[in-house]
């Protein structure tokens, strides 16, 4: 069993800090290319709606099933542990966390190299991986305190940038508001905009370690969604008023804006913010993927090595060690080929969107099939919110491109192969061992 040591504010700041990384800081350049200043509407409207929809959905599901495991736990409780759909949801979400957040290690290496050119990118990424493994080994409370610290820094820095930037907005940059048209350009911004918000639901995987999950998890999720919508919407509005959209179509538009508008201080400031954002996402990724793997191993789907809990620190050490191995592997991907990092990011995008869609479908299913179940939190504007989530995340996948869809389907097929070739056998051995231990205890 894991200890209930996390309060509402630690949870909320964890959800906020886990997301504020290169998903927005780099992705806004892609959104600018697709739609020009019109992209800021997408951050406020599509990003905000999708984020609140998923926050409400995860809040209801997490309070119904307050255990670690997130979307996998909810699916398992609904369809049964041995159902292939249950396994596949856990498989896809685990991989989304594994790669979707771990690729931020590469961003940390890039930002650290920019700040201290003598440090190679791979070295910065590797050192960061080891650092956060140590923090998480000490215990989840220390990890969330560190994450909360990043959250406070990012909130203050973001608010300062927005407030200072408002005073320097040039209205002329908004004049050619939709240079490429309206509907299709907005649709093309969806992968950049919606995926920028992904990751805050990692709070739900910490429900088993929350002091009061029925109250604190919904407040943390909705609070994080509110912060993120205001942050990304405000950032986008200011950015498109500080620089022409063409100048934002770069790999690091936020840093460029800081340098051009605020000089050397702005360049250093926004570089440090970007660096801190990626660091916080890495830490959140360690917490989330470790607990998903632990939860699935605890039920027999992976080796019991990954279900071992350190008695002193009360952390899932087996899953943490594997997470560390995966982080180290991802941190050196760019030194092999830049293409490997890109594909890892594609898998994260696909995994998040599919997981959110599944959560929305699951909520609709449970409301219809099991209306009698206890729901400490209920999604407002039901069924509009879960349906809206399904539509927006489906469009995000569709407009991400054929390559992302192919890679995502390939990973899902690998999951099916694992399920039928190894997973079911591992699960049967686990159940048999449990039964034998029960008989020994009874005798």
**How much is the mean pLDDT over the chain?**
81
Res 434: pLDDT: 83
pTM, to two decimals = 0.83
Q: Cβ(173)–Cβ(242) under 8 Å? A: yes
Which residues lie below 8 Å from residue 302, measured CB to CB, with a gap of 6+?
293, 296, 426
Q: Packing angle between helix 48-64 and helix 384-398, nearest 10 degrees? A: 120
Start-end of H helices in 299-382: 317-331, 333-336, 338-369
| Architecture of the domain whose range is 8-432 | Up-down Bundle (1.20)
User: How much is the average pLDDT of 19-23?
Assistant: 59
Q: Cβ(424)–Cβ(83) under 8 Å? A: no
Burial class (CB in 10 A: 0-12, 13-18, 19+), 438: exposed
Q: Cβ(160)–Cβ(153) under 8 Å? A: no
Res 395 pLDDT > 80: yes
Residues in the chain: 443
% residues pLDDT > 90 (the chain): 25
Res 78: pLDDT: 86
Mind listing the pLDDT tens digit for each residue in 127-185? Answer: 877 777 777 777 666 666 766 677 677 777 778 888 888 888 889 999 999 999 999 99
Cα–Cα distance measured from residue 361 to residue 130, given in angstroms and rounded to the nearest whole number: 37
Q: Which residues pair with 315 in a beta bridge?
A: 310
Cα–Cα distance measured from residue 395 to residue 312, given in angstroms and rounded to the nearest whole number: 46
Helix/strand/coil for 28: helix
Q: 350, 351, 385, 294: which is closest to 60 by C-alpha?
A: 385
Burial class (CB in 10 A: 0-12, 13-18, 19+), 131: middle
């Amino acid at each position: 069993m894991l200890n209930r040591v996390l309060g509402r504010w630690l949870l909320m700041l964890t959800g906020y800090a886990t997301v504020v990384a290169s998903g927005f800081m780099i992705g806004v350049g892609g959104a600018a290319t697709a739609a020009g200043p019109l992209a800021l509407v997408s951050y406020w409207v599509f990003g905000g709606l999708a984020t609140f929809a998923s926050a409400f959905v995860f809040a209801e599901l997490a309070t119904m099933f307050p255990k670690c495991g997130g979307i996998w736990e909810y699916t398992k409780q609904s369809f049964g542990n041995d159902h292939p759909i249950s396994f596949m949801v856990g498989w896809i979400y685990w991989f989304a966390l594994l790669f979707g957040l771990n690729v931020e290690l590469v961003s940390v290496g890039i930002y650290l190299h920019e700040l201290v050119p003598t440090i190679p990118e791979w070295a910065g990424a590797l050192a960061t991986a080891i650092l956060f493994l140590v923090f998480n080994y000490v215990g989840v409370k220390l990890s969330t305190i560190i994450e909360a610290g990043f959250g406070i820094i990012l909130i203050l820095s973001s608010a300062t940038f927005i407030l200072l930037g408002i005073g320097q907005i040039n209205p002329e940059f908004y004049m050619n508001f939709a240079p490429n048209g309206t509907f299709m350009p907005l649709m093309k911004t969806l992968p950049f905009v919606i995926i920028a918000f992904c990751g805050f639901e990692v709070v739900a995987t910490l429900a088993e370690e929350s002091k009061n999950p029925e109250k604190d998890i919904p407040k943390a999720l909705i609070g994080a969604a509110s912060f993120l919508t205001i942050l990304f919407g405000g950032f986008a509005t200011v950015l498109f008023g500080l620089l022409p959209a063409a100048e934002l179509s770069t790999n690091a538009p936020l840093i460029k804006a800081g340098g051009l508008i605020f000089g050397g201080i702005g360049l250093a400031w926004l570089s440090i913010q970007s660096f801190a954002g990626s660091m916080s996402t890495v830490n959140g990724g360690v917490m989330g993927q470790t607990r998903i793997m632990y939860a699935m191993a605890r039920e027999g789907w992976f080796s019991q090595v990954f279900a071992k809990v350190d008695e002193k620190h009360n952390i899932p050490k087996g899953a943490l060690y594997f997470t560390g191995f995966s982080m180290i592997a991802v941190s050196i991907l760019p030194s092999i080929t830049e293409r490997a990092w890109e594909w890892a990011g594609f898998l994260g995008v696909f995994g998040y969107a599919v997981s959110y869609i599944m959560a929305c479908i699951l909520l609709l299913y449970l409301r219809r099939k099991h209306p009698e179940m206890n729901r400490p939190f209920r999604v407002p504007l039901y069924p509009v919110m879960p349906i809206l989530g399904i539509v927006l995340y489906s469009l995000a996948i569709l407009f991400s491109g054929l390559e992302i869809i192919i890679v995502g389907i390939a990973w899902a097929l690998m999951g099916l192969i694992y399920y039928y070739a190894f997973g079911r056998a591992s699960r049967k051995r686990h159940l048999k061992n449990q039964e034998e231990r029960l008989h020994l205890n009874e005798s």
